[in-house]
Chains A and B, each alone.
Chain A
Amino acid sequence: MKESRKQRLATFGFGVLVAAMVGVLATAVWHLPEEPPGLAGEVEARLGDAGASNPVTAVLLNFRSYDTLLEIAVLLLAVLGAQVLAGDEADLAIVRDGVRLRDDPSSNPVLEGFVRVAGPIMVLFAGYLLWVGGHAPGGAFQAGAVLAALGILLLLAGTHTRLAVMAPAVERGVMVAGLGAFLTVGIGMLLAERRFLEYPVPGAKWLMLLIETCATVSVAAIMIALFRGGRLIRGTCPPQREAGSKS
């Protein structure tokens, strides 16, 4: 692409502008106070009532649970948007030499062997991450990410999975489970004459664990679906159209 002199000048000028912006931001960061008040003190003070001894999990699931609720809603929005955009392109199929990869597991035996060995370990590790999030770094999103990685490995290895043949209602239920559990707990608190998402102190740990379990399943399902272009269920793929053809 031949660039005119004007384009090159504009690019350079924009580069100078960005450098100036970076300079301003760097100056701002340089002059940040050494030990600001922050919220660490308040979190430390109320950690006993939080239902989790890991402060990050307490902040995520209790003190700032509304942010986490909206975060799960954003994930759901992304997968719905991806489904809408996928339209009638039913599957993001990985094709090698004309053969759709999921129909031919022998095309990558090392990957398939690795998934056979690592798969159960990853499931176990996800469960461990979910539980240990209460008192050490871990939690729902980390566990969901490990499960999503397992799902993507299964897809890449071409191994047939029950993921692809679940009923549509189950697929929808699994994706909505995290947001649904969160909203149920929140509204349940409203019905119990507390504020929205205000957990009772003795039961906080189990409520948070319930929310985290549903969120793990949801996050994993949504991320696998996003990798496949929006759906978990294997669709009937129409004949591949040429890109840009009018039909």
Chain B
Amino acid sequence: MTTQLFYALCGVSLFGIGFYGMVICSHLLRKVLATNLMSSGVFLVLIATAARTSGGHPDPVPQAMVLTGVVVAVSATALALALVRRFYRETGETRLPATGVVTKED
């Protein structure tokens, strides 16, 4: 198993762990963190597959995509956290209601 393959498999497992956590965890903050974990996994896979070039230098296009992806992930996390804060301010809860319907009386 080459180094790149090992890193790519690590990225895939990170993605799986993050996906599991995002769906299963009921606390909103943990969902946001799990989404971040998923994106870290994807970036690791992209970087690992960028190393497979015939010359000495890794492929710059996936590296640029990861740079873009990191910035987009930061923006998405910030917006998600703003949503969580607003949700907490409106309802006082940090977990989505079990029935799936949010009203101010809950």
A-side residues, CB < 8 A to B, are 1, 11, 14-15, 18-19, 21-22, 25-26, 29-30, 32-36, 38-40, 43-44, 55-56, 58-60, 64, 67-68, 71, 74-75, 77-79, 81-82, 85-87, 89, 139, 141, 219, 223, 226, 229-230, 241, 243-244, 246
- Could you tell me if B61 and A43 are in contact, using CB atoms closer than 8 angstroms? yes
Q: Which residues of A contact B58 (CB under 8 A)?
A: 40
A-B CB contacts (within 8 Å), total count: 134
Which one of A14, A25, A223 contacts B23 once the chains associate, using CB atoms below 8 Å?
A14
- Could you tell me if A82 and B78 are in contact, using CB atoms closer than 8 angstroms? yes
Residue of B nearest to A30 (CB): B5
B-side residues, CB < 8 A to A, are 5, 8-9, 12-13, 15-16, 19-20, 23-24, 26, 45, 49, 52-55, 57-61, 63-65, 67-68, 70-72, 74-76, 78-79, 82-83, 85-86, 88-93, 104
Contacts A44-B55, A219-B71 given; indicate if A14 touches B20 (C-beta within 8 A).
yes
Q: CA separation between A63 and B75, bound complex, in Å?
A: 23
Show 13 A/B contacts (Cβ-Cβ < 8 Å), sorted by A.
A18-B16, A19-B16, A21-B19, A29-B5, A32-B49, A40-B59, A44-B55, A56-B67, A59-B64, A71-B72, A81-B82, A86-B82, A246-B104
Q: CA separation between A44 and B60, bound complex, in Å?
A: 9
- Could you tell me if A78 and B79 are in contact, using CB atoms closer than 8 angstroms? yes
Which one of A58, A67, A230 contacts B60 once the chains associate, using CB atoms below 8 Å?
A58
- Could you tell me if A87 and B53 are in contact, using CB atoms closer than 8 angstroms? no
Contacts A32-B49, A246-B104 given; indicate if A43 touches B60 (C-beta within 8 A).
yes
In the complex, how many angstroms separate the beta carbon of B21 from the nearest chain A beta carbon?
10
Q: CA separation between A34 and B51, bound complex, in Å?
A: 10
Q: Which residues of B contact A223 (CB under 8 A)?
A: 74, 78
In the complex, how many angstroms separate the beta carbon of A155 from the nearest chain B beta carbon?
15
9 cross-chain pairs, A with B, having the tightest CB-CB distances, nearest first:
A244-B92, A78-B75, A22-B16, A55-B60, A226-B78, A82-B82, A59-B64, A40-B59, A85-B82
- Could you tell me if B53 and A67 are in contact, using CB atoms closer than 8 angstroms? no
- Could you tell me if A25 and B12 are in contact, using CB atoms closer than 8 angstroms? yes
Q: Which residues of B contact A21 (CB under 8 A)?
A: 16, 19
Q: Which residues of A contact B13 (CB under 8 A)?
A: 22, 26
Residue of B nearest to A222 (CB): B75
Contacts A14-B23, A40-B57 given; indicate if A230 touches B86 (C-beta within 8 A).
no
